[in-house]
Amino acid sequence: MTDPIPTGCRPVDELLGGGFERGVVTQVYGPPAAGKTNLALAASVGVAADGDRALYIDTEGLSIDRFEQLAEGRLDRADGGDTLEELASRLVISEAYDFDDQREAVRDAEELAEEVELIVLDSATGFYRLERAGDTEGGESLRKVAKQVTHLLSLARRHDVAVVITNQVFTDPDGDRDRALGGNTLNHWTGAILRVDRFRGGNRRATLEKHRSKPAGDTATFRIVGDGLAEGTDA
């Protein structure tokens, strides 16, 4: 098995054992604006900057401005002579505007799986939430999402690629905190789970909740900055 896919943010990569693991699905979840997309996009830009290809299935409306910031930041730190356009050509963005689009994009990922190092689904559950508001553990919509995740897992295993899905949260009436949307159904099919939260001092905190070779409960602090991701600062 080859090396994991780094996010380019040292504390997060150390937390993950080098980055997003190949051969499994990593779930990155948390509340809105916590940094989920930034982590997924930074890893994708890193793959493209290294001369490889990544597939990014976008259901959220990806910010082109943010992509350009991350890409230009990565190019400024690199030794190569790539242009922004050359880097962008290695990042395949598949836009999904509804649940059917998402299903087709995940299905079609098989056509590119041999050519890419990373597949991102951002987010896996946004359209599910619209269809099944309040339904967290069952229902046909959740089964459809789970089927998509298992398809991506099969691609990860067959082609030794890293797969990252982002996920939202819901308020658990029986618990003291919010939980990942989809509950145990999605957690079962994800080999690694990373929770991301806003933290004091403008930082973000990443908590490793599940991993095949790293202890659960470890945390890392990072910041979202203009040209990428950086180590956290003392509050």
Q: Which residues contact 197 (CB under 8 A, 6 or more apart)?
A: 30, 31, 34, 204, 205, 207
Encode pLDDT of 158-180 as tens digits: 999 999 999 999 887 777 778 99
pLDDT tens per residue across span 118-146: 999 999 998 887 666 545 555 788 899 99
Q: Give the mean pLDDT of 38-57.
A: 97
Count of other CB atoms within 10 angstroms of residue 89: 12
Q: Is 125 left (phi over 0), alpha (psi -120 to 50) or beta?
A: alpha
Q: Note the pLDDT tens digit of each residue in 58-100.
A: 999 999 999 999 999 999 887 777 899 999 999 999 999 999 9
Q: How confident is the model at residue 37 (pLDDT cuts 50, 70, 90)?
A: very high
Contact yes or no for 13/229 (Cβ under 8 A) = no
> Both tokens of residue 81?
């002579």
| Entry pTM | 0.94
Residue 131: its pLDDT value, please?
A: 66
Q: What is the DSSP letter of 41?
A: H
**For residue 21, what are its two tokens?**
């693991």
For residue 90, the 8-state DSSP code is T
pLDDT at residue number 4: 98
Element (H, E) at 198: strand 192-198
Query: Which architecture, in CATH terms, is 10-231?
Result: 3-Layer(aba) Sandwich (3.40)
Question: What is the chain's Cα-based Rg?
Answer: 17
- The residues spanned by each domain of the chain are 10-231
Contact criterion met (CB below 8 Å) for 128 and 118: no
Q: Is the pLDDT of residue 9 over 80?
A: yes
Please say if the pLDDT value at position 196 is more than 70: yes
